[in-house]
Amino acid sequence: MPRFASARQRAPQLLERLGQLYPHATCSLDWSTPYELLIATMLSAQCTDVRVNLITPALFERFPDAAAAAAVEPAAVEPYVKSAGFFRNKAKAIVGASRLLIEHHGGEVPQTMEELLLLPGVARKTASVVLAWCFGINAGVTVDTHVARLAQRLRLSRNTDPRRIEPDLMKLVPQPEWQNLSIRLIFHGRAVCSARKPNCPGCPVADLCPMGGTARR
């Protein structure tokens, strides 16, 4: 395929190729209920999934649902999330979101983007993750640091702001594939196209990448 092929032309092949490379790609956060995934994703902001998975067992044992977290003040949550970074803000958001879930949703996680975005600490990234993995609803493309980086390197978007990258990606593949595109880019970003030292010579999708092995840091 010529290097000047448009993002729209290359995206379907990228999606297929990455699917072959990462056939079992799925959410890396540990969770067993929609509430747990909601909280885990909130904690993952500026924090690795590995770190979040170390935090959540004790957190969810103490606060297994919205009712438990809604009944305390943020200070009671802080010790459980301290190593996640910005722990005071995150503890406050967990309690605030839990209280709104109790007040307006009977303690259950809502299944629409609009309702999720009303919860403290929830932006489109968190809402998209919860909707896709808990309910099978593709309401958007999750743009984390890996997706943002690869979207630029692969020239799928010329934007740097995740809020602008997301609609660019949404135009490239059918809606049922939105979360597949995201999770496959995340896995490829971790395995090959890292932030500091992308392995361009060993990249299985280099022929679909306009940077052609010249990725800059």
- Residues for the chain: how many in total? 217
Q: What is 63-112 written as a DSSP string?
A: --SHHHHHTS-HHHHHHHHGGGSSHHHHHHHHHHHHHHHHHHHTTSPPSS
Judge contact between 40 and 52, C-beta under 8 A: yes
Q: Please provide residue 112's backbone torsions phi and psi, each rounded to the nearest 5 degrees.
A: -130, 150
Number of H helices and E strands in the chain, helices first, is: 11, 0
Q: Which of 49, 144, 171, 197 is catalytic?
A: 144
**Catalytic residue status for 144:** yes
Residue of 154, 142, 169 lying closest to 27 (CA atoms): 142
Distances (CA, A) of 182 to 64, 127, 173: 28, 14, 11
Annotated catalytic residue, options 49, 90, 92, 125: 125
| CA–CA distances in Å: residue 40 to residues 31, 79, 94, 111, 167 | 8, 15, 10, 17, 25
Q: Check: CB of residue 194 under 8 Å from CB of residue 149.
A: no
- Does residue 92 carry a catalytic annotation? no
Report the catalytic residues.
125, 144
